[in-house]
C-alpha cells in the first residue's frame, strides 16, 4: 500500500495535478493584449494540456475587427488581415517571446516559428532546439496583413513537463487600422502521436 501511494505521488509530481491548476492558466487561453505598442509586455504561468509524449502548443497573435459591427470598410480590412493587402507594405509585429519551464522534468524543448504557407504544417527550416536548460528566447516577426487572423509566433514541443512561464514583449510600434483589436492566444497545436 505504501508503495502504491508513493508511486501515485511521484506521478502527480511529474505530470502535475489539478491542485496546480489554481496557480496556472489553463490552455487554451486568449487574452486581449495590444502588441501594436512598443514595450507592451504580457506574461503568465500556464499549464499545457497533458499528453503522455508531451504536447505541441502554439502561441499566436490574433488580429481583426469584431464581425458583428463590420461595415464594408471593416470587412475589407478583415480581408486584408486574413489574405494580405495588395497595395501596401505589410507592417510586422516584432516580439520577443521567452518560455521558462517550471519544474524538474525534461527541459529540452523544440520550437518552430513558421508554418508552411497555406497549411498547418511546421516549416522545418524554422526549427530551433533548446537543450540542457538553455534559455528559450526568440525574436519573432509576424505580418499584420496576410497569413490568416492568427499570426504564429511559435509552436513548441514541450516534452513531458506541463507547467511553463511565458513572457511576450513587443519590440516595435505597429500602426493598426481603426477598430482592429489584438489578442494573445495559447492553444494545443496538435498531438504528436
Q: What is the 3-state secondary structure (H, E, C) of 60-97?
A: EEEEECCHHHCCHHHHHHHHHHHHCCCCCCCCEEEEEE
Distance in angstroms (rounded) separating the CA atoms of residues 133 and 128: 14
Distance in angstroms (rounded) separating the CA atoms of residues 5 and 36: 51
Chunk the chain into consecutive blocks of 10 residues (it has 193) and report each block's average pLDDT, rounded to whole numbers.
46 47 81 96 90 81 79 87 84 94 74 76 82 86 90 85 90 93 88 49
Task: Report the pLDDT value the prediction gives residue 108, as an integer from 0 to 100.
Answer: 77
* pTM score: 0.81
Task: Report the pLDDT value the prediction gives residue 16, as an integer from 0 to 100.
Answer: 47
Task: Report the pLDDT value the prediction gives residue 2, as an integer from 0 to 100.
Answer: 52
Task: Report the pLDDT value the prediction gives residue 15, as an integer from 0 to 100.
Answer: 47
Classified by CATH at the fold level, domain 20-190 comes out as Jelly Rolls (2.60.120)
CB atoms within 10 A of CB 177: 17
Task: Report the pLDDT value the prediction gives residue 14, as an integer from 0 to 100.
Answer: 45
Residue with cell 464581425: 67
Distance in angstroms (rounded) separating the CA atoms of residues 77 and 83: 10
Task: Report the pLDDT value the prediction gives residue 137, as an integer from 0 to 100.
Answer: 93
Domain positions in the chain are: 20-190
125 touches 68 (CB < 8 A):
no
Task: Report the pLDDT value the prediction gives residue 93, as an integer from 0 to 100.
Answer: 96
Which bin fits 41, alpha (ψ -120 to 50), beta or left (φ > 0)?
A: beta
Sequence-distant contacts of 75-80: CB under 8 A, at least 24 apart: 77/177, 77/179, 77/180, 78/149, 80/145, 80/146
Amino acid at each position: 500500500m505504501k508503495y502504491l501511494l508513493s508511486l501515485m505521488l511521484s506521478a502527480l509530481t511529474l505530470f502535475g495535478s489539478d491542485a496546480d491548476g489554481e496557480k496556472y492558466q489553463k490552455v487554451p487561453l486568449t487574452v486581449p493584449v495590444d502588441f501594436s505598442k512598443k514595450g507592451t509586455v504580457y506574461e503568465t504561468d500556464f499549464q499545457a494540456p497533458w499528453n503522455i509524449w508531451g504536447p505541441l502548443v502554439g502561441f499566436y497573435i490574433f488580429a481583426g475587427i469584431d464581425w458583428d459591427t463590420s461595415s464594408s470598410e471593416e470587412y475589407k480590412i478583415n480581408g486584408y488581415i486574413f489574405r494580405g493587402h495588395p497595395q501596401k507594405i505589410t507592417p510586422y509585429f516584432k516580439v520577443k517571446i521567452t518560455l521558462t519551464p517550471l519544474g524538474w522534468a525534461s527541459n529540452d524543448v523544440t520550437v518552430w516559428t513558421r508554418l508552411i504557407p497555406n497549411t498547418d504544417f511546421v516549416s522545418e527550416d524554422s526549427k530551433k532546439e533548446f537543450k540542457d536548460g538553455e534559455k528559450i528566447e526568440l525574436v519573432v516577426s509576424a505580418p499584420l496583413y496576410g497569413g490568416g487572423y492568427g499570426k504564429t509566433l511559435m509552436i513548441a514541443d514541450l516534452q513531458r513537463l506541463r507547467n511553463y512561464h511565458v513572457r511576450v514583449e513587443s519590440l516595435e510600434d505597429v500602426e493598426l487600422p481603426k477598430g482592429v483589436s489584438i489578442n494573445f492566444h495559447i492553444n494545443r497545436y496538435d498531438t504528436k502521436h
